[in-house]
Structure 1
């Protein structure tokens, strides 16, 4: 499913620095994902559009391509949060299905494809830099921006008291079953709040859940490069 996003040399040149100095804080790598509870429901609109296109193609006696095969482990997005003691990074990969570009006056065989894009946010020295890698491999690197400072809201952490374990990751959850990583392990935060790693999302019956968590071990420097997600 992943696309070839850009040559390695170009991506390496996009990096602003070298390996980070030794960590002064507890390091971690957290991976979360948002998955649909039902693939049929999630892709219901796309299947409906495809059927209409097939009906039109039959009237025009045009050949059509089959509906894309959807991997059983399809996710709408996967996010990696990492901290090496000096830098923070958030790497988000988003997947969706859309029409394959073709001539505007053709049905193009009703071709659909699963696309992906990446957004990478590296925070260091009071600045954050955003890199976008589009579905066609186009790399766009933004100018470093000053991080907006807002006091961390410890009260948001205090709302999460009930222990829970998902995919081997220890969590603390609120009364509404929204969960964060157990702060006794590590405080995974984003700006003024803790990162939510488990909850149900009403749109299309999506589920946010943790995939893995590693704490206190060296973090791969490649996570902080403007390259494709692993």
Structure 2
């Protein structure tokens, strides 16, 4: 049996999409959650000095989106055709572009920036970027008309974006009552039968 070990902090963050892919595939994995102190000790040994890291029978894979794609393709959540796979990858790239803006706020929460700094990042960086990001997602949902971002079945792109919307809801960048189509999409993913029980039981974290 293949041994999977996912190493990340004790938070949802960039590891949660991988965790949910394991849940969907009914595949056991070692969920190795680090404290900040443990990460600092481990950091020099990591391929790029960062997490998440997925270890597959000792073979290390770094970079969150690469890990997601690897698991999605292995477990059948990458898309049904090469075109669907490309679309899913593209949506995740849009998410990663937005994340570069969100980090100005999210990292501030983690590393203790002042409220003034957080408010400035919110208004000047993240809120404008979120509007562009939401527009891309809504156009894609309108295009598919299935409730999913790609084709007619759940893909890793849906999971990654829904997880991100949970974070944006927690941090008050996403207001479901104002974004009906995104709210409907978000709820659809959260109610995926294999995920619902896991999501209801998981430990809460803002990010």
Larger radius of gyration: 1
State if a TM-score over 0.5 links the two structures. Answer: no
Of structures 1 and 2, the one with the larger relative CO (CA 8 A, separation 6+) is: 1
TM-score by length of structure 1 reads 0.24
Larger helix percent: 2
TM-score after normalising by structure 2: 0.26
